[in-house]
């Protein structure tokens, strides 16, 4: 098979064994790779508990990984979420996917629970399971140092060891499989880290066609103001969105009580570039280089992180935001859920956390100490325990990211319908509602949004299965990427055939969630968005969402999906 190694790895930590098996060709044809592989392989286990011996943790590449296809250095991590109980996948960058593919493996499937803490080491097709007693209790940075250089690393911190429901897996120091608590799944297996290196190459059907298809994508990227422009992702990273979202009056503030934060400019991409003299870095095979580091080695936070440790918690202190990001990376914590849960706690307690208190709460969550033990369950469980479930700003148990849905109605619909819970990346309607790509639409209307959200959900399921980066689609489309896929694999895809695969993945995810009790009643938003305005500014008011209009759009979405 072109684009695939044809081999995958299965590990059973209960007995300490491993085996190489053939990657099923029908799986490649029907699900492509990455997210699609994981969703299909987890289907027989989805009703098991997330910490069951039988629950797999799957790390899967796609057919484009290891090739010259732009932004192809990504990995999908799939399991059942401890936070939401939904089927869950994360797309993560760095080097791990490329090294796994070069090691000769399309994916690895980890099952079982070790009797003691272990690490897994993959060197080409040679696999070792080793004792990790000396790494237990260490933060991510110390584990990375102990594992040495020359390998790509997937590590959990103390949060994953302690079963924090939103613990992350940290790849190569600062690339995170962040959301949903997959770090807790890894911790439940007593697996502290995985390392991988490989020397192989990936067979490509036609290098000549791939070079041509790659240049078509690169030409569009270079012409895109959102990506390569003066104020775009390449220059400022995702924090380029801070000023734009603030100007649209849709920055979640003080647990979504408001949608404007006057001090947002304190942590804009421009401000951080000036202060930290940021440098470009990024994932393997990526021309965008949206990751930023400071001249002293600081890891510069992403947009969601600066916004949620900033506006969502009423905090304008940039130093504390950068430190909060560092702490989350060391503990292995999802920054969105961590910040959201602290904001929920603050509203319930009637307080506004100081920068020092914010950092203290992160430490308590990571250690599961004091109030941190309750907060480590996530905002939904915490708010329910206090008798105030409406103050958890979450959908299906997953806390909402840094786009207030009162300011973008496609985002409101996308949050509600997302299979993994409150997530901006399933449909990412911000691309057409705010960035006006590929077409400009009215953001304060549900007109046409049901079909747009459906198509975007299917499209992004393809993107996560190839596995590539959504940011490239601010400029290119599946039309260009169909040519890339065909050049790599020798398949004969067009846009519609890829979308059919995306739809297959989406519908399978939905059906798996129904097996765990989810239904259309869960396709909803917190009541706050229907009852409270976001911004009273005379120049740009952000009113509550009309619930009837929202429900009508939801019904149109179900009809377009062909669901009863």
Residue 539 has pLDDT above 90, yes or no: no
Which pLDDT band, with edges at 50, 70 and 90, does 278 fall under? confident
Say if residues 537 and 517 touch (Cβ distance below 8 Å). no
Tens digits of residue pLDDT in 431-456: 889 988 778 899 999 999 999 999 99
Query: Whose CA is closest to 84, among 180, 177, 169?
Result: 180
* Alpha-carbon gap, residue 60 to 18, rounded angstroms: 16
Tens digits of residue pLDDT in 10-35: 999 999 999 999 999 999 999 999 99
Whole-prediction pTM value? Answer: 0.97
Does residue 10 sit in helix, strand or coil?
Answer: strand
Say if residues 64 and 467 touch (Cβ distance below 8 Å). yes
Asked if residue 152 has a cis previous peptide bond (ω within 30° of 0), the answer is no
167 DSSP 8-state letter: B
Q: Which two tokens stand for residue 142?
A: 């110390």
Q: Which two tokens stand for residue 137?
A: 């209790």
Tens digits of residue pLDDT in 103-136: 999 999 999 999 999 999 999 999 999 999 999 9
Residue 390 has a CB neighbour count (10 Å cut-off) of 11
Does residue 50 sit in helix, strand or coil?
Answer: coil
> DSSP for 131-151?
E-GGGTT--HHHHHHHH-SSS
Say if residues 383 and 344 touch (Cβ distance below 8 Å). yes
Which pLDDT band, with edges at 50, 70 and 90, does 299 fall under? confident
* Alpha-carbon gap, residue 108 to 75, rounded angstroms: 11
Query: Whose CA is closest to 159, among 297, 312, 299, 337?
Result: 337
Q: Which residues of 254-281 are buried (b: 16+ CB within 10 A; e: fewer)?
A: bbbbbbbbeebebbbbebbbebbebeee
Percentage, residues of the chain above pLDDT 90: 90
* Alpha-carbon gap, residue 35 to 42, rounded angstroms: 11
How many domains in the chain?
1
Residue 210 has pLDDT above 80, yes or no: yes
Give me the pLDDT at residue 418, please: 98
Cite the beta strand spans of 188-271 per DSSP E.
191-197
* Alpha-carbon gap, residue 305 to 46, rounded angstroms: 30
Q: Is residue 533 part of a domain?
A: no
Cite the beta strand spans of 305-371 per DSSP E.
none
Q: Which two tokens stand for residue 343?
A: 């904001």
Which pLDDT band, with edges at 50, 70 and 90, does 219 fall under? very high
Say if residues 303 and 244 touch (Cβ distance below 8 Å). no
Tens digits of residue pLDDT in 392-437: 999 999 999 999 999 999 999 999 999 999 999 999 998 889 988 7
Q: Which two tokens stand for residue 352?
A: 């506004």
Percentage, residues of the chain above pLDDT 70: 100
Q: Which two tokens stand for residue 136?
A: 């237990």
Residue 71 has pLDDT above 90, yes or no: yes
Does residue 365 sit in helix, strand or coil?
Answer: helix
Q: Which residues contact 505 (CB under 8 A, 6 or more apart)?
A: 31, 35, 36, 39, 458, 461, 462, 465
Residue 285 has a CB neighbour count (10 Å cut-off) of 22
* Alpha-carbon gap, residue 349 to 252, rounded angstroms: 19
> Which helix H or strand E contains 292, and what residues bound it?
strand 291-293
Question: Kind of pairing, strands 152-155 and 191-197?
Answer: antiparallel
Tens digits of residue pLDDT in 452-469: 999 999 999 999 999 999
Q: Which two tokens stand for residue 13?
A: 């930590």
Which pLDDT band, with edges at 50, 70 and 90, does 343 fall under? very high
Residue 357 has pLDDT above 90, yes or no: yes
Give me the pLDDT at residue 275, please: 87
Q: Is residue 359 part of a domain?
A: no
- The residue-averaged pLDDT of 303-318 equals 97
Query: Whose CA is closest to 283, among 91, 563, 536, 40?
Result: 91
- The residue-averaged pLDDT of 195-216 equals 98
Q: Which residues of 13-25 are buried (b: 16+ CB within 10 A; e: fewer)?
A: beeeebeeeebbe
Give me the pLDDT at residue 214, please: 98
Q: Is residue 150 part of a domain?
A: yes
Q: Is residue 136 part of a domain?
A: yes
* Alpha-carbon gap, residue 272 to 276, rounded angstroms: 6
> Residue 188 sits in which domain range?
7-197
Give me the pLDDT at residue 295, please: 81
Residues paired with 157 in a beta bridge: none
Mean per-residue pLDDT of the chain: 96
State the maximum Cα–Cα separation within the chain, in Å, rounded to a whole number: 66
Indicate the length of the chain as a whole number. 564
Query: At residue 246, what are phi and psi to the nearest 5 degrees?
Result: -65, -45
Query: Whose CA is closest to 376, among 191, 162, 210?
Result: 162
Query: Whose CA is closest to 61, among 104, 28, 110, 101?
Result: 101
Say if residues 193 and 119 touch (Cβ distance below 8 Å). yes
Q: Is residue 172 part of a domain?
A: yes
Give me the pLDDT at residue 341, please: 99
Give me the pLDDT at residue 525, please: 99
Which pLDDT band, with edges at 50, 70 and 90, does 298 fall under? confident
- The residue-averaged pLDDT of 152-158 equals 98
- The residue-averaged pLDDT of 134-158 equals 98
CATH number, domain containing residue 161: 3.60.9.10
Give me the pLDDT at residue 404, please: 98
Residue 538 has pLDDT above 80, yes or no: no
Q: Is residue 29 part of a domain?
A: yes
Q: Which two tokens stand for residue 43?
A: 């289907």
* Alpha-carbon gap, residue 363 to 299, rounded angstroms: 18
- The residue-averaged pLDDT of 268-288 equals 87
Q: Is residue 14 part of a domain?
A: yes
Angle between helices 495-515 and 34-42 (to 10 degrees): 30
Query: Whose CA is closest to 192, among 155, 153, 245, 152?
Result: 155
């Amino acid at each position: 098979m072109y684009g695939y190694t044809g081999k995958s790895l299965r590990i059973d930590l209960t007995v300490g064994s491993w085996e190489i098996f053939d990657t099923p060709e029908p799986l490649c044809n029907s699900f492509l790779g990455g997210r699609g592989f994981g969703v299909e392989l987890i289907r027989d286990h989805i009703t098991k508990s997330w910490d069951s011996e039988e629950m797999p943790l799957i790390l899967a590449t796609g057919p484009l990984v290891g090739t010259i296809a732009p932004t192809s250095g990504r990995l999908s991590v799939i399991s059942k979420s401890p936070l939401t109980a939904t089927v869950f996948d994360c797309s993560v960058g760095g080097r791990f996917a490329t090294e796994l593919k070069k090691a000769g493996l399309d994916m690895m499937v980890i099952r079982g629970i070790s009797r003691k803490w272990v690490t897994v080491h993959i060197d080409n097709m040679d696999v070792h399971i080793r004792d990790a007693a000396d790494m237990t209790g260490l933060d991510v940075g110390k584990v990375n140092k102990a594992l040495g250089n020359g390998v790509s690393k997937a590590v959990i911190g103390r949060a994953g060891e302690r079963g924090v429901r939103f613990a992350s897996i940290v790849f190569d120091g600062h690339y995170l499989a962040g959301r949903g608590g997959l770090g807790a799944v890894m911790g439940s297996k007593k697996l502290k880290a995985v390392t991988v290196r490989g020397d192989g190459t990936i067979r490509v059907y036609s290098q000549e066609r791939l070079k041509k298809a790659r240049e078509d994508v690169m030409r569009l990227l270079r012409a895109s103001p959102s990506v390569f422009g003066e104020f775009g992702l390449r220059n400022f990273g995702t924090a380029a969105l801070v000023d734009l979202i603030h100007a649209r009056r849709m920055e979640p503030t003080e647990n979504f009580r408001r949608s404007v934060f006057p001090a947002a400019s304190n942590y804009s991409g421009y401000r951080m570039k000036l202060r930290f003299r940021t440098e470009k870095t990024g994932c393997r095979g990526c021309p965008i280089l949206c990751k930023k580091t400071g001249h002293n080695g600081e890891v510069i936070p992403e947009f969601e992180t600066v916004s949620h440790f900033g506006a969502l918690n009423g905090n304008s202190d940039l130093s504390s935001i950068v430190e909060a990001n560092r702490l989350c990376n060391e503990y292995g914590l999802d920054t969105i859920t961590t910040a959201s849960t602290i904001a929920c706690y603050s509203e319930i307690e009637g307080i506004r956390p100081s920068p020092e208190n914010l950092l203290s709460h992160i430490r308590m969550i990571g250690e599961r100490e004091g109030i941190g033990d309750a907060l480590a369950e996530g905002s939904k469980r915490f708010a329910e325990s206090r008798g105030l479930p409406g103050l958890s700003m979450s959908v299906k148990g997953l806390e909402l990211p840094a786009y207030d849905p009162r300011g973008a109605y496609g985002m409101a619909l996308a949050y509600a319908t997302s299979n993994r819970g409150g997530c901006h990346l399933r449909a990412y309607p911000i691309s057409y509602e705010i960035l006006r790509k590929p077409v400009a639409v009215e953001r304060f209307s549900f007109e046409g949004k049901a079909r747009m959200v459906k198509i975007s959900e299917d499209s992004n399921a393809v993107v996560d299965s190839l596995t590539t980066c959504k940011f490239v689609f601010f400029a290119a489309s599946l039309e260009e990427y169909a040519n890339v896929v065909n050049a790599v694999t020798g398949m004969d895809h067009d846009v519609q055939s890829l979308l059919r695969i995306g739809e297959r993945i989406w519908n399978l995810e939905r059906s798996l969630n129904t097996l765990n009790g989810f239904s259309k009643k869960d396709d909803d938003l917190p009541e706050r968005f229907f009852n409270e305005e976001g911004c009273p500014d005379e120049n740009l008011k952000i009113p509550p969402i009309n619930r009837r209009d929202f429900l009508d759009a939801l019904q149109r979405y179900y009809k377009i999906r062909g669901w009863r």
